[in-house]
Structure 1
Amino acid sequence: MERKSILSILLVLVIIMALFTGCQPAPAEEPTEVSEETPEQPVEAAAEPADEPYTGEPLQIYAAYGGLEEIAQKFESETGIPVEMLSMSSGEVLSRMRAEAGRALGDVWFGGGIDSFMVAAEEGLLHPYQSPEAISIEDRFKDQEGYWTGVSIVLVTFVVNKPLAEELGVDIPRTWESLTDPAYQGEVSMPNPGISGTAYTAIASMIQMRGEVAGWEYLDVLDQNIPYYAERGSEPPQQASLGEVLVGISPDGINSLREGYPVEVVYPEDGTPWWHSPVAIIEGTQNLEAAQKFVDWVLTEEGQAFLAEVSPRPSTRPNVPLPEDVPTLDELNLVDYDFAWAAQERDRIVEEWTQRYTQ
């Protein structure tokens, strides 16, 4: 064979072997060992956008509730919304809202007599709002159209100064009937029902319990033991706590006990008047979103538990943990109270009361 032919054959063989070798898969890479001294870094979740800070005007709240300073601070710390609490009785709030109708200066009405809230709703002074938290509130404690929602249960009680009872040599009164005893002449303090939800609920309860004629006859006798009618609902328990009078008709007796005053809180055995203290948004508010947030907050379980700490009352929301000094409703003889009637008759009853006892 010629030399040239042999070289050609060898070249072809070399090319074939090179092609065969190039088709073989590359050897697998060895797995990279993770050093025990260098832990894997966790993957960070994408940050959620933070709520924008509140930049609006402070929320203006007309309030008839205990612990207002603590409530305002707690709400602001949790929401960033500043609050200005204006303490007023139910009658004062209703009068102010009537005067401000169409140019509301307030945003929220918090606490007070339910009858006044019903009247305000009828007069178009409240803005309806169905809070998502209201689903947990019993129907009997809220307006079905969302004009108001009950926050807590207020109990009308006697705050009795025990040392003064001993000094006067009298028993601690435990019923409305016993409160008319001449032994208590000049020793009973009660607010004016024209401005106090507590007092109006008390006199309306007497009329409902006894009937129109007998109810007014009872109030005539009770009037003999009342030296004057206080202009603020907070005055009677303060007077009783300080021993200025024996009995203060009040919804806030537990606060006097907590402050260390020598008093006993009596839940009248022949009928404890009560109402659910609501929250509502004022029609015409210029701060609607912040107002809605306040309503939501006071109706949450956490908000309700906090309210019971600073203003000891039973809650309208079930299963809220309450302080030990707050009674449960099944322990009490609650008046079978017609709230709709009390609201409809409010102006008439207050006018009759005024003519009888303040002329």
Structure 2
Amino acid sequence: MKNTSKILILLLIFSMILSLAACQKKEASDDEGEIQEEIANEGENADLEGTTLNIVATSESYKEFFDKFTDETGIKVEFISMSSGELLSRVKAEEGKPMADIWFGGGLDAFMEAKEEGLLESYISKESEDIPAEFKDPEGYWIGKGLTIVGLLVNKDILEENNLPMPTSWKDLTNPVYKDEIIMSNPAISGTNYAAVNGLLQMMGEEEGWKFFEELDKNIPYYAKRGKDPQLKTMEGEFAIGIIPADKSAFDLQEEQNVEVVFPEDGIPWVPEGVAIFKNSQNLEGAKAFIDFMLSKENQQILAQIDGKDGAQMVKPGVEGYDLGVPEKRFIKQDLSSFGKDREPILERWSELVGDK
């Protein structure tokens, strides 16, 4: 009996030694795996160092952000600024030979259409896991980086000179007293103004919405061909009211000029800003590295501080942007899928409505 007990004790001790050894081996294996992963990542960056990444962005304000990417990866960034509608037309015309690797910023409608046209490359970054489903393509063809909020910029000097009332709602803009005093960009070119058109149609309904735009058109002498023109021309006093992306740059003007940013009481249109990799990218691995870089929490926070357009509200949880005082309860309840599928019919009807203005 005693011998049996001794044998059992010895077996137990032996089993414990084997378990301990196995745990130590697993820990060593895990550590080795992490080290090898770090080495592999460093190797990837080393392979990409000295290459060039071409980016088309909606603004030149991203240069500091792109420089940070270069500092961290050694990948040089060349970029140009272009509106989303203009870029989409250019990419279609390229017929499989894109002018850049990364498409950075612009209304989601253009990205949705580009996906349908087969112009984008699929890539699902590990950094995108916590971004809500409504702000990313399930197949990885585009991802949102922030929201563009649509509002009004009002030149108070012009209002005073012409004895005009301060507008507080979208329907106010149909008042005949504002004839030739309102400017907005062509929604076929500007993602922001397409967001305004789509969002207001969803808020008002098709019939009432198109009646509104018919009346609004009477007060608009022409439609700008650049997304930033409404802000610039309102600031310069050419117009009393501009329909704009209500970003930090617009709020900064309030301290420098006699202008005011107005969020209409009857609803605020909004749209996610997209980012995507072009199909047939010349630097595909560099483009993937940029997406990973952009979506990290640290860099999302930096991006929020660099570009006020993204600062109103970021899409990555835990990232704080600029507090622009946006009354989020006024955000229009929008079906984002309509931004892509309804783009062509909306723009066709818009063209019929306004003609060659």
Q: TM-score, normalised by structure 2?
A: 0.82
The separation in 1 between residues aligned to 2:328 and 2:351, in whole angstroms, is: 34
Please list the CA deviations of residues 102-147 of structure 1 after superposition, one character each: whole Å capped at 9, or x if unmatched. 2223101111110111111112111111111101211111111111
Shift of 1:55: 4.4
The separation in 1 between residues aligned to 2:262 and 2:291, in whole angstroms, is: 31
Shift of 1:162: 2.2
2:315 counterpart residue number: 316
2:190 counterpart residue number: 196
1:297 pairs, out of 293, 299, 303, with 293
2:226 counterpart residue number: 232
Hey, which bits of structure 1, 4+ residues long, moved more than 3 A? 48-51, 53-57
- Higher mean Cα deviation, 189-198 or 249-258? 249-258
Amino acid at match of 1:181: N
Partner-residue secondary structure (3-state), 1:243: coil
Shift of 1:166: 2.4
Correspondence 1:115-134 to 2 at 5 A: 115-134=109-128
- Higher mean Cα deviation, 232-241 or 292-301? 292-301
The CA RMSD over aligned residues, in Å, is 2.1
1:334 aligns with 2:331: yes
Shift of 1:310: 2.1
Partner-residue secondary structure (3-state), 1:225: coil
5+ long unaligned stretches in structure 2: 1-34
2:268 counterpart residue number: 272
Shift of 1:65: 4.1
Aligned residues: 311
Shift of 1:317: 0.8
Name the larger-Rg structure.
Answer: 1
Higher helix share: 2
Partner-residue secondary structure (3-state), 1:229: coil
Shift of 1:53: 7.2
The separation in 2 between residues aligned to 1:226 and 1:340, in whole angstroms, is: 29
The separation in 1 between residues aligned to 2:247 and 2:352, in whole angstroms, is: 30
The separation in 2 between residues aligned to 1:172 and 1:71, in whole angstroms, is: 37
The separation in 1 between residues aligned to 2:279 and 2:193, in whole angstroms, is: 27
Correspondence 1:168-179 to 2 at 5 A: 168-179=162-173
Shift of 1:240: 1.3
1:222 aligns with 2:219: no
1:183 aligns with 2:180: no
1:311–1:129 CA distance, 2 compared to 1 (3 A): same
1:285 counterpart residue number: 281
- Higher mean Cα deviation, 93-102 or 149-158? 93-102
Please list the CA deviations of residues 26-48 of structure 1 after superposition, one character each: whole Å capped at 9, or x if unmatched. xxxxxxxxxxxxxxxxxxxx9x9
5+ long unaligned stretches in structure 1: 1-45
- Higher mean Cα deviation, 187-196 or 52-61? 52-61
Please list the CA deviations of residues 229-288 of structure 1 after superposition, one character each: whole Å capped at 9, or x if unmatched. 000001101111122211111114430332523321112221100011111111110201
2:18 counterpart residue number: none
Correspondence 1:1-359 to 2 at 5 A: 52=46, 54-65=48-59, 67-259=61-253, 260-312=256-308, 313=311, 314-324=313-323, 326-327=324-325, 331-359=328-356
State percent identity of aligned pairs.
42
Q: TM-score, normalised by structure 1?
A: 0.81
The separation in 1 between residues aligned to 2:162 and 2:72, in whole angstroms, is: 49
**Contact 2:151 / 2:262 at 8 angstroms: preserved in 1?**
yes
1:358–1:202 CA distance, 2 compared to 1 (3 A): same
